[in-house]
Structure 1
Amino acid sequence: MATIIRDIRAPETDSDTSEDGFWQAGHTPTLIAAFLYFDLAFMVWVLLGPLAPEIAKTLALTPAEKGLMVATPTLMGALLRVANGLLVDRIGPKMAGVLNQIIVIAGLFGAWMLGVNSFTGTLALGFVLGFAGASFSIALPLASRWYPPEHQGKAMGLAGMGNSGTVLASLFAPILAKMFGWNAVLGLACIPLTIVLAVYIVMAKDSPNQPAPKRFAEYFLPLKTADAWWLMGFYAVTFGGFSGLASSLTIYFTDQFGLTTILAGYCTAGCVFAGSLVRPMGGALADRIGGIKALTIVFIVAAIALAGVAMAPTLGSALGLFILAMLALGIGNGSVFQLVPQRFQSEIGVMTGLVGMAGGIGGFYLASSLGFAKQLAGTFAPGFLIFAGLALLALVGITLVKGKWRTNWDTGARI
């Protein structure tokens, strides 16, 4: 079968690869709006994680139910990312973002007013919060379509740094729950969401390079190529690890070491901040050394760190290994999305949704498996060991495809 070689080489300028060239190449207000939207959406996407210990006490949840509760928003966010990818290419990312944010605000407000009084209620809330997780497939195309290939890694990394919103949830949700009760936190979250929605409406602007709408079946044509499946698999490990840990670490720290919810939230925030901080650095690093080389390093470090966590005897050792794992996974998130637009520039909307869906499924697996491991084996260790094994499988995968990608992709940027 003939290989399709895509030439998406951008016009050269004197400052294409310079810092000034980056800021001149795109639309800064849209980049800022994409970051803010993504940041607050991610804050509420993982909201059930920091609140899980308190919710579990109130509703008498088992370890498996706690794991499934915090994993449900991750799964729904994964599935809804595909729908959002289609919506972005049909009506544009700006309007898609407005619609999703309104659904999230309305859902949180309704949950606050009516109350969440059962395990089934937490799953229903998790479904609504999935729309916040699906913001991934809106914010990244919104920002990236303004930038040429040589700046894709940095643009998507900066927009994707909005996953730092998970830090806000870990820092403030337990404190607010202590002060006002965990149900009140659902209503309080609507305040910053509404403010950011107003800012987003004013600042965000769709790129003039919007692709023409395609027939429904055409959106799934990338799935006929092996490259799409490889990229989805790699992101299932990098973002799956990041989001799964972000949702589960508060439960881990309270159950494993007996920390208070607030102290566990601080520990979680430190880990998540590390992964969020380096995401744009991951994109920039991939721009410099190539996404393939960056991912190779990422998978090795992540596998070692997650395997180490399974055997960590103390809080200090576990915390250090989690930070190392999150640093690697955060770099990996930026690195995958340095590669995606190079191979699928014309299908970036739907590919962002498909790759994001795979990442969400990876996060759902990790978060839910940790809960089931704790209930069945009495320890979280099996869940961490299995995911470390998945990182090693991803390492084998990137080793197998790197030669073909470097030979057949003609993009004008490092891979």
Structure 2
Amino acid sequence: MNAGKSFWRSGHIGSLFSAFLYFDMSFMVWVLLGPLAVIIAGDFQLDASQKATLVALPTLGGSILRLVLGYLTDKIGPKLTAQIGMVLTLVPLVWGWQFADSREEMYMIALLLGIAGASFAAALPLASSWYPPQYQGLALGIAGAGNSGTIFSTLFANRIAQHYGDWHVVFGLAMIPIAVTWIVFTLLARNSPNRPAPKRWSDYARVLKLRDCWLFCALYGVTFGGFVGMSTYLTIFFNTQYGLSAVRAADFTTLCVIGGSFFRPIGGWLADKLGGIRMLMGLYGLIAILMACISTLPGISLVTGLLFVAMMCLGMGNGSVFQLVPQRFRNEIGLVTGIVGAAGGLGGYFLPKVLGNMKFYTGSFTPGFLILSGVALVCVVLLFVVQGQWKRTWIGDGGKVKASAPGSDGAPVAEAI
């Protein structure tokens, strides 16, 4: 109880809530094409590969733009960066609502929806900068739980499209929560007085020379990329593999997404308590097993259960990775968050492409899920190899951060590559 009270008193609640809300509504918009893809694909006669491209492009756009928003966060602060991001998010929504009538336009809209996905680069630093090292996992887990916005898309997007008989309306209605969020964010969010000084482009180059930065990119590319990729593609998977209607397929996706959405804070909290390395190795190992089981394409009830647990592991993995990142790169948190977040987005781009292209070329989802299982196993091996050096330098046994961790002041303790 005392620990809980200490956490709430150690930072700024208004900024933490604002970061969560901004992330939540942005995530809702970012993955909007996931559930709608089944309906849109019917209008434009998209094949399996083209459907995968449509739902993957917002993630690619988010990956690119996170670097831009990460730089802006360092330069002008996370609050103003977030406000600008929300205004720009309205552009693809207006386009999709009023003007989209071709496959090429939908591809452009999909890329621009990445503006919403770039919210990571402002939301997480806003929350992180207010909290001390011992609460980073929990603070970032709470802010990062905004990925629950996916649930609003999967649960309501196809229902709204079905009710109005037009999927364009969904884009128009999505503008309302973004506008409300902008107002709430403007009133409640505050930049931390402890925010690090702005970084130069040379600082990006310096950070990119560090092996740990690339390792975090790989780890987050699997956990966050896996969550986003699954969130955007599962409606297509359930529709194609099991013949479910657009609404029903999105409902099953919602059940799976709930696991990843609400277990991210738990992942951060457990990583604070048990250690990030132990958490991540266990989670990646379990993900590998689950993906191998899913590759057998069992009945819909069993595959939904397996996917729920897999999404839960991916969500906890997100929190666990970001429990370690701020400790290693405390003074470069905005910069590194943008880089690592971009890598996570790239993972979310490739996952639908892997599943969609394997389905297109082989006629089955089995090879795609087996590839994903192998990628998770590679992460276990990577952690096994680097854990010794991490424990000797900036973390204690099992991944708990040392009280005087060298990495917490931004010092380059990792080997350059």
Establish whether TM, by shorter chain, passes 0.5.
yes
Match of 1:148 among 115, 132, 142: 132
The alignment status of 1:412 with 2:402, answered yes or no, reads: yes
State how far apart, in whole Å, the 2-side matches of 1:251 and 1:298 are: 26
1:307 maps to 292
Quote the Cα distance in structure 2 between the aligned partners of 1:331 and 1:185.
30
| Contact 1:149 1:412 (C-alpha < 8 Å) held by counterparts | no
- Residue 214 (1) aligns with residue 209 (2): no
Task: Give CA-to-partner distance per residue, 1:47-91, whole Å, 9 cap, x none.
Answer: 001000100001111110000000000111011111111110000
Name which of structure 1's ranges 156-165 and 208-217 shifts more when overlaid on structure 2.
208-217
Aligned pair 1:19/2:4, yes or no?
A: yes
Q: What's the CA shift for 1:131?
A: 0.5
Residue 304 (structure 2) pairs with residue 322 (structure 1): no
Aligned equivalent of 2:150, options 162, 166, 171: 166
- Conserved in 1, the CA contact under 8 Å of 2:96 and 2:106? no
Q: Distance in 1 between matches of 2:131 and 2:337?
A: 15
Deviations 1:347-394 (A, max 9, x none): 000110111111111110001111111111111121111111000000
Of 33, 43, 61, which residue of structure 1 is paired with 2:46?
Answer: 61
Q: In 2, distance between residues paired with 1:252 and 1:407?
A: 44
2:95–2:109 CA contact under 8 A, matched in 1: no
Q: Which of residues 328, 331, 334 in structure 2 aligns to 1:349?
A: 334
**What do the CA deviations read for 1:145-196 (whole angstroms, capped 9, x no partner)?**
0000000000000000000001110000010010111111011100111111
Shift of 1:413: 5.4
- Whether 2:257 is the aligned partner of 1:272: answer yes
Q: 167-176 vs 381-390, which deviates more?
A: 381-390
Contact 2:289 2:373 in 1 (8 A): yes
- Determine the C-alpha separation between the residues in 2 that align with 1:56 and 1:99: 32
**1:414 Cα deviation after fit:** 11
1:130 aligns with one of 84, 104, 114: 114
**1:75–1:361: 8 Å Cα contact kept in structure 2?**
yes
Superposition deviation, residue 134 in structure 1? 0.6
In structure 2, which of residues 63, 85, 104 is the aligned counterpart of residue 120 of structure 1? 104
Matched, 1:40 2:25: yes
Matches for 1:67-78 after TM superposition, within 5 Å:
67-78=52-63
For 1:310 and 1:134, locate their aligned partners in 2 and report how far apart those are by CA, in whole Å.
31
Query: 1:10 — aligned with what?
Result: none
Task: In structure 2, give the amino acid aligned to 1:109.
Answer: V
Shift of 1:203: 0.7
Shift of 1:217: 1.4
- Tell me, what secondary structure is at the counterpart of 1:76? helix
In structure 1, distance between residues paired with 2:404 and 2:34: 37
1:286 maps to which residue?
271
Whichever residue aligns with residue 75 of structure 1, its letter is: L
The residue number in structure 2 matching 1:9 is none
Q: Distance in 2 between matches of 1:163 and 1:229?
A: 23
Cα RMSD of the aligned pairs, angstroms, is: 1.4
Partner of 2:414 in structure 1?
Answer: none
> With structure 1 as the length reference, what TM-score do the two structures score?
0.94
